[in-house]
Structures are given as structure tokens and as C-alpha cells.
Chains A and B, each alone.
Chain A
Amino acid sequence: MSKLIYLDNAATTKVKDEVLKEMLPYFTEEYGNPSAIYTFAQKTRKAVDSARSQVAELIGAKADEMYFTAGGSESDNWALKATADAYGNKGKHIITSKIEHHAILHTCEYLEKKGFEVTYLDVDSDGKISLEELEKAIREDTILISIMAANNEIGTIQPLAEIGRIAHEHGVLFHTDAVQAYGHIPLNVDEMNIDMLSASGHKFGGPKGIGLMYIRKGVKIRSFIHGGAQERNRRAGTHNTTGIIGIGTAAKLAGQDLEKNKAKQEELRNHLIERVLAEIPYSRLNGHKEDRLPGNANFCFRFIEGESLLILLDQLGVCASSGSACTSGSLDPSHVLLAIGLPHEIAHGSLRLTLSEETTLEDIDFVVDELVKIVERLRKMSPLYEDFVKRQA
């Protein structure tokens, strides 16, 4: 196989060298439990504290508003279930969108079974919610608005500050699933009126199995994992010290280079999008053209199916992903692509390429060159394309 070209950074990222270097001593040398009283554990405790400041700083929060979890899914579950628990006597209505990650959608479905009502906002063809519809959906008994910062498939960034302002004006809590956005685009919990925010370490150069939750002071949600007094009684379990130090370091590095990395990835991504749309007929870009994650490109190629595309790319050493049914384990293609209005048959032919700061122009050009050939090859095999050509003739 040729060299590996990893373009699935929305799925997970490589742990940065500096992150790993910071983590390593805490496995075998400074392995003390940060909750312990003796001197040996004090260095670990300090490292955990400093990581907490680092993850807070990136979003303009205070360190004592940050809680470490086992990942983005836990944070999303915590935000929704604990809000329902704590504010359920005030109201039973939650607002979210149709294109949220399943950690939100399936948790909402669970809460519906528990007697809550959920409004799933539509999105437009670019994947954006309508602020007007959001405001209209708010009721007397609405307790929470949970809208993702940026979509994991199509990369569309939501108007967070406006959503936060509307939530604030109506006295409704605002949670955002920022798993794809944290560390990639500027976020500020005060400017955006965010009350709760979920993020995950491995999406921005940190390790897997560590996530975080920002909970604004005054938001009264309680513990989701019971057992110990860690995280100021809000999240039991011995601290994942190596993970915490990893996510803290990754947040520090992301903050240092945020604008530079963003600009670099946007330039490469735009080059990728321009070339694909120009060189592959019957292709389209999914997601908003400008308001999208710096490293995200998502396409549909008509008349072909996504899994075949992924296998052929894999054979060239290119890692990518698709929203086709075959890659989701069900018969339905991605709920996100359907929500932006794509017909099933077109949604099956989607391809997501997500860049990192290590992606080069050569990588992108290689992938586009090959993609042109692969799409042509699969179309030659496609009865849909055959019919289309005959109808055009």
C-alpha cells in the first residue's frame, strides 16, 4: 500500500506528540490518585488543576465550571438527562435539531419515553436551523435548547451567539454539543450565552476516553455518575489523570494555533472543494459553503454508492467516511443528509473528507486525481448512470 492519507479527522485524530509527552510521566512516575492527601499525589493534583484551566481558557470559561468526563457522548447524556432531572418540575419541553449527533437524538428519544416532549427543528438545505422557528418553538414549559455547534457530517456551523441570545431572552438553558467545534473554531461561553457545552479530547489531538463538560455557575444539574466526591461532587470516579493532562495540553496547543490552523485548513479544504466540483460531473457539496468547519468537505456523487467508493479509496491508503446505508449498519442513509433534503439515492453516494493540520496540498491533489478515476469507474458499472445517459441522449 502507498503512504497513508488520513482524511477522517472528524472520526478521530492522532494524539499530538507534545500531548503524549506530557501524558507519559503520569502513567508510571506520577501515578498517584489526585484525591489523595499525601505529598506524592500533589503533583498529579496540580497537573489536573492546570489542565482544567487550560480547557476552560479555550472557551472563555472559569476553571471551576469545567468537568472531566469519559467523552462527548457522556457529556451529551449528562447535559440532557440531568437537566431533565433537575428542571423537570419546571417544564417538560426540550428543543433540539434533526441533525444532532445520536448521543443527543437517542437521549432525547429516551427522555420522550420518560414523559418529556422534544421539538426537533428542521434545517435548511445548508444544514442551518432557522432562528425564527427556534423562537417560535419556545413554550412556557421549555427547559432546554440543545443545538450542536458544528455538524459532524456536513460541517455546518450554527449561529451559536444568536441561539444563545434567544435562549437567554426566554430564560431557557442552552446546551451545545461542541464535539466537532471545540479546538477548531473560536468559542466563547459568555459571548454566546452558552450554559452547557460538551467536548471530546480525541477530536482535536488529545487522547480517546476523555471528554469535558462546561456547566455555567448557577445551572443546577447534578451528578450523572454516582459514587465519589470527585469533580466537586458532580462526576464520580477516580480522575483519568493521563487523559485529563492530555486533553488539557491539546486544548492549550489548539488555542495557541487556532487561527493559523484554521486558515491553513480552510485554504486546503477550499482547494479540495473547488477541484472536486470542477472535475467531477454531477457532484455537489453538502453543508454551508462558508459557515463550515475548517477541515470538513462533504460531497455527493450521483449514480454511485458510498461504500464502494470508500473501499477503492482505502486500497490507495486513503481513509475517508460516508453517510451511505452500508456504512451505517442500517438500510437508511445518514439522517443529516436526509434532513438537508437529499433524496435517499443521492444520500447513498456521499463522501466525507476531514483534514488535519498535517494534511498537505499533495495529499489533496492525489486524492482528487484518484477520486476522478474512481467515480468514473463506479459510474461505468452503475445502472442508474446508464439510464441517465440514455435519457440524455
Chain B
Amino acid sequence: MYSEKVMDHFNNPRNVGEIDNASGVGTVGNAKCGDIMRIYLDIDDDKIIQDVKFKTFGCGAAVATSSMATELVKGKSVNEALKVTNKAVMEALDGLPPIKVHCSLLAEEAIHAALWDYAEKNNIVIEGLEKPVNDIEEKIEDEDY
């Protein structure tokens, strides 16, 4: 069902984790539909993405697309990162099954959401970047069930 590349990124996800005091953090998706992605960006003064980390709740494709997306934006400038599309993520993974295409869209949105957070924090405008749709469902209650 999944390509070898998808399986590789699922089994050995690159850049899993968190960044303390990140330049930008973006979370997209919702738990109701079964996918949530969070991207952390560390961006230097020259607007170059020095480091990127992710956390994902979701299926194999969701994990693999997050992992690939982080690889594709690492070391890029903010403007270059904005051009990383879901199509690029899919191609880099040698394709996804049709019902999993939305995972790659989520990865693109997560990058955009993290960039938006960075822009807001620094009071700058990144040309071509739109405000991400906040799609996060209310948090799971902490009560024991």
C-alpha cells in the first residue's frame, strides 16, 4: 500500500521532537479526523530555517509526510520554504495512496502555520503567506475515562 520511501520515513522519521523557544510553531489538523501535525521552526536573522522538528498524531502517511516536509524545508529560506507544496512532499515520497493525499496537504499547512507564527512574532509580512485555518478541535478532556 505504501511506497518504500513512505515506509522508510515512517520507520525512521527525521526531525522528530520539539524546539524550545522556537521561532515559529504551527499545529494543524484535528483529532476527530485522526491527524494532527505540529511543526517547530528555528529561523535565524537571515531568515534561513536552521532547524525544524515535528510531532504527529496520525497514520503511517501522516508521519511520513511530516518527516519529509521537515527535510524539504531544512536549510531553506523562509520564502523557499513557502514554496514547498504538498505535491513536492508527495513526489519526494514516491507517491501516496489516493485516500492519503490529505496527509500531504496537512504537512504543507503545518509548515505554513509555523511560518505564520514566526511572522506574527516578528511583526513581519511574508509575501504569499495566508493566515492558516485553525482546524484544531477542542482538546481532549484530561479526565480519566
A residues engaging B (CB < 8 A)?
A: 284, 302-305, 307-308, 311, 315, 324-326, 329, 331, 333, 342-346, 348, 380-388, 391-392
Q: Identify B10's interface contact among A311, A326, A346, CB under 8 A.
A: A311
B60 touches A311 (CB 8 A): yes
Check: B119 CB closer than 8 A to any chain A CB.
no
Minimum CB–CB distance for B111 against chain A, Å: 15
- Whether B27 is near chain A, meaning CB under 8 Å from some CB there, is yes
Contact in complex: B59, A324 (CB < 8 Å)? yes
Q: Report which residue of A305, A311, A331, A392 has the largest number of chain B beta carbons within 10 angstroms of its beta carbon.
A: A305
Chain A residues closer than 8 Å to B142, beta-carbon distance: 388, 391-392
Cα A37 to Cα B56 in complex, Å, equals 67
The 3 closest A-B pairs by CB, nearest first: A345-B31, A307-B59, A326-B59
**Other-chain contact of A384, B13, B31, B60 (Cβ < 8 Å):** B31
Q: Which of A304, A346, A380, A388 contacts B145 (CB 8 A)?
A: A346
Q: Classify the secondary structure of B's interface with A.
A: mixed
Where the two chains meet, the residues of B that have a C-beta atom closer than 8 Å to any C-beta of A are: 7, 10-11, 13, 16, 18, 27, 31-38, 55-60, 62-63, 99, 137, 139-140, 142, 145
Q: A284-B145, A305-B58, A345-B32 are in contact. Are A383 and B63 (CB under 8 A)?
A: no
Chain A's closest residue to B145 (CB) is A284
Closest chain B residue to A326, Cβ basis: B59
Select from chain A the residue with minimum beta-carbon distance to B36. A383
In the bound complex, do residue B34 and residue A386 qualify as a contact, i.e. CB atoms below 8 Å apart? no
**Neighbouring A residues of B62 by C-beta, 8 Å:** 305
Nearest CB on B from A292, distance (A): 19
A304 proximity list for chain B (CB < 8 A): 57
A308-B38 contact in complex given A345-B137, A383-B55, C-beta closer than 8 Å: no
A343 with B56: CB separation less than 8 A: no
- From B103, which residue of chain A is reached at the shortest CB distance? A326
Q: Which residues of B contact A307 (CB under 8 A)?
A: 59-60
Q: Do A384 and B140 contact each other (CB < 8 Å), given the known contacts A324-B34, A331-B34?
A: yes
A381 near B56 with CB under 8 A, answer yes
CB distance from B136 to the nearest CB of A (A): 10
Nearest A residue to B139, CB-CB: A387
| Given A311-B7, A383-B36, 18 other A-B residues pairs in contact with their CB atoms under 8 A | A284-B145, A305-B34, A305-B35, A324-B34, A326-B59, A343-B140, A344-B31, A344-B32, A344-B34, A345-B140, A346-B145, A380-B16, A383-B37, A383-B38, A383-B56, A384-B31, A386-B38, A387-B139
What residues on B are CB-neighbors of A385 within 8 Å? 57
CB of A346, distance to nearest CB on chain B (Å): 7
Would B33 and A386 count as touching, CB distance under 8 A? no
Chain B neighbourhood of A284, CB < 8 A: 145
Give the residues in chain B near A384, CB-CB below 8 Å.
31, 36, 57, 140
Shortest Cβ distance from residue A78 to the other chain B in the assembled complex, whole angstroms:
32
Query: Which single member of B13, B99, B137, B140 contacts A346 (CB below 8 Å)?
Result: B140
Residues from chain A with a CB closer than 8 A to the CB of B7 are 311
